[in-house]
Amino acid sequence: MQAIPVSEFITKLRASQAHDAKLIFSYAPCTLDVSAKICKLRFSTMATQANPLEERLQDFQFPQREAAFFYGLFLRGHSADELRKDIQVPAAVLAKWDKETVREPQLRPILETIVRYRQHVLAIFENLICHDAATQKLQ
């Protein structure tokens, strides 16, 4: 199938199908980029897809939620020390990340954000545990 100009296509379509008033332009046999594929308006992937970096940074907006998750585990009987270990970024992982940033320096800000986030989650978790211990002493 050979691509033809849109105006020529519409003229031929009207002439050959004058009895059929239904005309669906979104599936006309021409495209905006003049190829012979079915004509559908193409959306730019840049306009329709979320920015992966922006999406990842949104994960770090609510450390309270993650701290509340760990606090819920604490209330269900999990050890506070084990939960602290789960929240903290281990030293071995920090060393590995440091080596990675030598090869890929653009990773450093992202990894620093992750470490700050985990520290913030840990601080909130500690505050919840201390508050819980203080209220239990009052009872």
The string of DSSP letters for the chain reads -----HHHHHHHHHHHTTT-----GGG-S--TT--SS---PPPPHHHHSPPHHHHHHHTTS-HHHHHHHHHHHHHTT--HHHHHHHHSPPHHHHHHHHHHHHH-GGGHHHHHHHHHHHHHHHHHHHHHHHHHHHHHHH-
Q: Which domain holds residue 120?
A: 50-138
Q: What is the 3-state secondary structure (H, E, C) of 24-36?
A: CHHHCCCCCCCCC
Residues 85 and 128 in one domain: yes
**Residue-level pLDDT at 21:** 42
Q: pTM of the full predicted structure?
A: 0.56
pLDDT higher at 88 or 56: 88
Same domain, 59 and 114: yes
In a domain, 106, yes or no: yes
Q: What is the pLDDT of residue 104?
A: 93
The answer on 90 and 59 residing in a single domain is: yes
pLDDT over 80 at 42, yes or no: no
**Contact between residue 47 and residue 58 where contact means Cβ atoms under 8 Å apart:** no
pLDDT of 66 reads 93
Judgement on whether residues 22 and 79 belong to the same structural domain of the protein: no
Distance, CA of 125 to CA of 68 (rounded, Å):
7
Residues 20 and 36 in one domain: yes
pLDDT at 131: 82
